[in-house]
Structure 1
Amino acid sequence: MAKNDELLHQEARSLASPSRIKYFDLVIAQGNGALLTDADGKEYIDLLASASSTNTGHCHPTVVQAITQQAQKLIQYTPAYFANPIAAKLSTRLTKLAPITRPVKLAWGNSGSDANDAIIKFARAYTGRQYIVTFTGAYHGSTYGSLTASGVSLNMTRKLGPLLPGIIKVPYPDPWQKAPHETTEQFVNRMFEAFKLPFETYLPPDEVACILIEPIQGDGGIIKAPTKYLQKVYEFAHEHKILFAVDEVNQGMGRTGKWWSIQQFGLEPDLMSVGKSLASGLPLSAVIGRAEIMEALKAPAHVFTTAGNPLTAAAALATIEVIEKEDLLHRSRKLGRSALTFFQQAQAKYDFIGDVRMYGLNGGIDIVDPKTKKPSTEIATKIIHRTFELGVIMISLRGNILRFQPPLVITTAQLDRAFTILDQVFSEEAAQKLRLPKNASELGW
């Protein structure tokens, strides 16, 4: 038995199935930059970046050195009671990076999930209001508050009710759902009318604490809201003294070619959540916001034993250093343009490739039935499975959307190699040579 299979068989005896979304029988043993090696020694090009949590790549030397040096000094003493030098330095660095001009403060967490829970906490405390408005297609996390705020998978709510009260969902303005006859302006107006409907019928605006949105949805399909729409929502929020909060867990830390995805819109949030690549994948998150909002609670309303510990803070400082010194924001934009060109050329060649979205090195590629142009989970599953066989890691979102989020440090040679493999797979699908894996019904979201 191969070592991958042996380890997976061993793990299956103790790991609960809800804790992993199944894709491939893969045990990742090591990583370097944009390359991964499995337990059997096979190498893969990573187009997932650990769900956009390793934007600086795997085991970046600067990050590894920072972790190693800090581990020799102090690994953990709870920041819930005492400060540590490295987290103090990081808090100053990160608040300066925040796209908020007024005085800014933050609170640490362990994951993007609890950072989004924190948005709910601080927004309710500051405004004295109960309701939180979120969007369909959102993925905010798996803790009860963030899970309730999400709207991307039925398995995130099935058997779990009652969920957190006071969370209201409105339709996300997915531009690719625009009707054939609609102009962009008409679509924006229609979606904004749908956004306002709850406020006009059953949801008093003066009882709403916060509107929480992913400006570019991640697990919802890498979908960017129209700028005019987000401006309308932003103006509505401020008109009614509702806080405007953004989830930057997936799309922050340089993923879109800017530090934060909200900077693509020229808007300034009141609150924001950060996680994933903040510490190059180590468990660290933060909720960042206007200082007066962040002082609306008193300890221990948002305290965690390990949040902001020295090791993860050292990794985060090193991550910021890498992004700046290697100019990964520019690199994301530059390589993103190359990726867009490749997928648009493929779109012109293959009738099962629908919409192509790319924001920096960060894209969603819709796979559709060539005849009906409806989403095709079957074709997408065949593509990602064959791609995996050929040594490239890419997964699907919402069944039919290819998720393209490589580490920002991927080399042009590695990217070109991945494109060559993808084109081969697309060609094989066009020739009807691809077959579904036997467990296809179990795979993906």
Structure 2
Amino acid sequence: MSQNQALLHQESQGLAPASRIKFFNVVLKSGKGAILTDADNRDYIDLLSSASSTNTGHAHPHVVHAIQEQATRLIQYTPAYFATEPEIELVKRLTALAPIAGPVKVAFGNSGSDANDAIIKFARAYTGRQNVVSFTGAYHGSTYGSITTSAVSLNMARKIGPLLPGVVKVPFPSHWDRLPNETEAEFCDRMFAAFKQPFETYLPADETALVEIEAIQGDGGFCKAPARYLDQVYTFCQEHGILFAVDEVNQGLGRSGTMWSIDHFPNVHPDLIAVGKSIASGLPLSAVLGRAEVMDALAAPGNVYTTAGNPVTTAAANATLDVINDEHLVERSARLGKTARQFFLDLRKQYPFIGDVRIYGLNGGIDVVDPETKQPDAIAASMLITRLLELGVLMITVRGNVLRFQPPLVIPEQTLQQAFQIIETACADLQAGRIAKPDHQIGW
């Protein structure tokens, strides 16, 4: 029995099945940059970045040093009662970086989930309204508020209701729903009509506090909302006094080739954004950034947590922002994202099971489809990622058939090219029938 298998057997005796989405029988031991090492001392090129929570790579020296240095001075004292120097510094830096017009304030949390919960709290407090609108295909988190606004998996609702009241979901304008021969303008107008339908039939706009969206959906399949559509929704919110929020947990901090995913939409200026995952290079820290008057609407202890914004996590976050700035990771993501996009487009020409390609920075989704019907092929996608793991590349799927491409933004170009070569090999193996079918679809 391998060390991976032995450790997983130990864990299986006590770990609840709801705690992990099942992909591979791997126990990760260490990581450096874009390389992961498992318990059997096998190396993998990481194309997942811990679900986009390690944009600066694994064990970046500057981040490690900041964590170690702060840990020698003060690991924890609750920010609910007292400020610390790294937290004060981070407040200044985040509010300056926010893609929000006017004065900005910040509130800290422990995860993207509670950041999205907090957005609901602040929006309801500021507007005095109850209702919240989110989108199909959304993934906002697993706390009760964020899991209610999510709509990417039935297991995020099954057996755990009733969920948060006052939440209405509308269709996200994903490319899969575009009709044959429909222009983008026609598609946007049709989807905007679907967005407005609740407001015209049962959802009073003047009782709606918030619309929250992922400008680029992550777990929903890496779909970017069309600019025309997002402009229409934002304008509707402005006209009706509804706050507009963007979930930047997955797509922020350089992931999409801009600092924030909403930067792809110059006409849209959110009232609130949720930040998490990579803000502290994977340490448990999140933040809500919002217009100052909105953030001032809620009083303590309406959104305090014992460890949120503690000295070690905020020190890590300051170091993370240093790395993003000093190593030009936003620009790097945009540049290498163009290389990645061209690679996958070329791959699509060679292999008929590669469908639509959506790459925004070092970030995106690649559809695996049946070559004849062009319908999603989750089994083939499972076969591909299984073969990739055997060849030394860690990649997973979302929506069953969508390859998730999110390498660390620090990945060396040579390593990225090596990953591409391995992906080509796996595709050739799939085409030639050299990969065994799994007993079942793995992953989501």
Under a length normalisation based on structure 1, what TM-score does the superposition of the two structures give?
0.99
**Which residue of structure 1 aligns with residue 144 of structure 2?**
144
CA deviation after TM superposition for structure 1 residue 437, in Å: 3.0
Letter in 1 for 2:219: D
SS at match of 1:102: coil
**Which residue of structure 2 aligns with residue 90 of structure 1?**
90
Q: CA separation in 2, counterparts of 1:17 and 1:148?
A: 21
CA deviation after TM superposition for structure 1 residue 217, in Å: 0.3
SS at match of 2:209: strand
Q: CA separation in 1, counterparts of 2:156 and 2:304?
A: 25
**Which residue of structure 1 aligns with residue 68 of structure 2?**
68
Letter in 2 for 1:221: G
SS at match of 1:45: strand
**Which residue of structure 2 aligns with residue 167 of structure 1?**
167
CA deviation after TM superposition for structure 1 residue 433, in Å: 1.5
* 1:344-423 superposed matches below 5 A: 344-423=345-424
Letter in 2 for 1:352: F
Verify the 8 A CA contact 2:110 2:285 in the aligned structure 1.
yes
SS at match of 2:168: strand
Q: CA separation in 1, counterparts of 2:413 and 2:106?
A: 37
Verify the 8 A CA contact 2:379 2:438 in the aligned structure 1.
no
Verify the 8 A CA contact 2:109 2:305 in the aligned structure 1.
yes
Verify the 8 A CA contact 1:176 1:355 in the aligned structure 2.
no
CA deviation after TM superposition for structure 1 residue 177, in Å: 2.5
Q: CA separation in 1, counterparts of 2:126 and 2:187?
A: 34
**Which residue of structure 1 aligns with residue 105 of structure 2?**
105
Query: What's the CA shift string for 1:94-119, capped at 9, x where partnerless?
Result: 01000112110011000000000000
Verify the 8 A CA contact 2:132 2:208 in the aligned structure 1.
yes
**Which residue of structure 1 aligns with residue 223 of structure 2?**
223
SS at match of 1:117: helix
Letter in 2 for 1:333: A
CA deviation after TM superposition for structure 1 residue 276, in Å: 0.1
CA deviation after TM superposition for structure 1 residue 141, in Å: 0.0
Q: CA separation in 1, counterparts of 2:162 and 2:168?
A: 14
Q: CA separation in 1, counterparts of 2:294 and 2:47?
A: 38
Letter in 2 for 1:226: P
Letter in 2 for 1:362: N
SS at match of 1:273: strand
Q: CA separation in 2, counterparts of 1:141 and 1:318?
A: 25
Query: What's the CA shift string for 1:57-115, capped at 9, x where partnerless?
Result: 00000000000000000000000011111101101110100011211001100000000
**Which residue of structure 2 aligns with residue 116 of structure 1?**
116
Verify the 8 A CA contact 1:336 1:359 in the aligned structure 2.
yes
* 1:151-300 superposed matches below 5 A: 151-266=151-266, 267-300=268-301
**Which residue of structure 1 aligns with residue 36 of structure 2?**
36
Following TM superposition, the consecutive aligned residue runs of length 4 or more in structure 1 with deviations greater than 6 angstroms are none
CA deviation after TM superposition for structure 1 residue 431, in Å: 1.1
CA deviation after TM superposition for structure 1 residue 176, in Å: 3.6
Identity level (%): 63
CA deviation after TM superposition for structure 1 residue 214, in Å: 0.2
Q: CA separation in 2, counterparts of 1:95 and 1:366?
A: 37
Verify the 8 A CA contact 2:63 2:320 in the aligned structure 1.
yes
Query: What's the CA shift string for 1:214-253, capped at 9, x where partnerless?
Result: 0000110111000010000000000000000000000001
Q: CA separation in 2, counterparts of 1:177 and 1:35?
A: 37
Letter in 2 for 1:365: I
Number of matched pairs:
443
Q: CA separation in 2, counterparts of 1:365 and 1:113?
A: 26
Letter in 1 for 2:209: A
CA deviation after TM superposition for structure 1 residue 178, in Å: 1.2
Q: CA separation in 2, counterparts of 1:175 and 1:429?
A: 26
Residue 396 of structure 2 is aligned to residue 433 of structure 1: no
SS at match of 1:245: strand
Q: CA separation in 1, counterparts of 2:327 and 2:204?
A: 48
Q: CA separation in 1, counterparts of 2:429 and 2:339?
A: 23
CA deviation after TM superposition for structure 1 residue 436, in Å: 2.2
SS at match of 2:81: coil
**Which residue of structure 2 aligns with residue 7 of structure 1?**
7
Q: CA separation in 2, counterparts of 1:181 and 1:222?
A: 23
Verify the 8 A CA contact 1:175 1:226 in the aligned structure 2.
no
- Name stretches of at least 5 consecutive residues in structure 1 with no aligned partner: none
CA deviation after TM superposition for structure 1 residue 181, in Å: 1.5
Under a length normalisation based on structure 2, what TM-score does the superposition of the two structures give?
0.99
CA deviation after TM superposition for structure 1 residue 175, in Å: 2.3
Q: CA separation in 1, counterparts of 2:403 and 2:154?
A: 20
Letter in 1 for 2:346: Q
SS at match of 1:108: strand
Verify the 8 A CA contact 1:113 1:141 in the aligned structure 2.
yes
**Which residue of structure 2 aligns with residue 308 of structure 1?**
309
Q: CA separation in 2, counterparts of 1:161 and 1:366?
A: 32
- CA RMSD in angstroms, aligned pairs only: 0.7
SS at match of 1:244: strand
Query: What's the CA shift string for 1:41-72, capped at 9, x where partnerless?
Result: 00000000000000000000000000000000
**Which residue of structure 2 aligns with residue 23 of structure 1?**
23
Verify the 8 A CA contact 1:23 1:444 in the aligned structure 2.
yes
Q: CA separation in 1, counterparts of 2:272 and 2:60?
A: 30
Q: CA separation in 1, counterparts of 2:438 and 2:416?
A: 26
Letter in 1 for 2:210: C
CA deviation after TM superposition for structure 1 residue 302, in Å: 0.4
Q: CA separation in 2, counterparts of 1:30 and 1:217?
A: 29
Letter in 1 for 2:27: V
**Which residue of structure 2 aligns with residue 444 of structure 1?**
443
CA deviation after TM superposition for structure 1 residue 257, in Å: 1.1
Query: What's the CA shift string for 1:14-40, capped at 9, x where partnerless?
Result: 110100000000000000000000000
Letter in 2 for 1:273: A
Q: CA separation in 2, counterparts of 1:328 and 1:271?
A: 24
**Which residue of structure 2 aligns with residue 326 of structure 1?**
327
Letter in 1 for 2:270: P
Verify the 8 A CA contact 2:362 2:406 in the aligned structure 1.
yes
Verify the 8 A CA contact 1:252 1:274 in the aligned structure 2.
yes
**Which residue of structure 2 aligns with residue 125 of structure 1?**
125
Query: What's the CA shift string for 1:360-396, capped at 9, x where partnerless?
Result: 0101000101111110101000000010111000000
Q: CA separation in 2, counterparts of 1:97 and 1:184?
A: 32
Letter in 1 for 2:388: T
Q: CA separation in 2, counterparts of 1:410 and 1:37?
A: 16
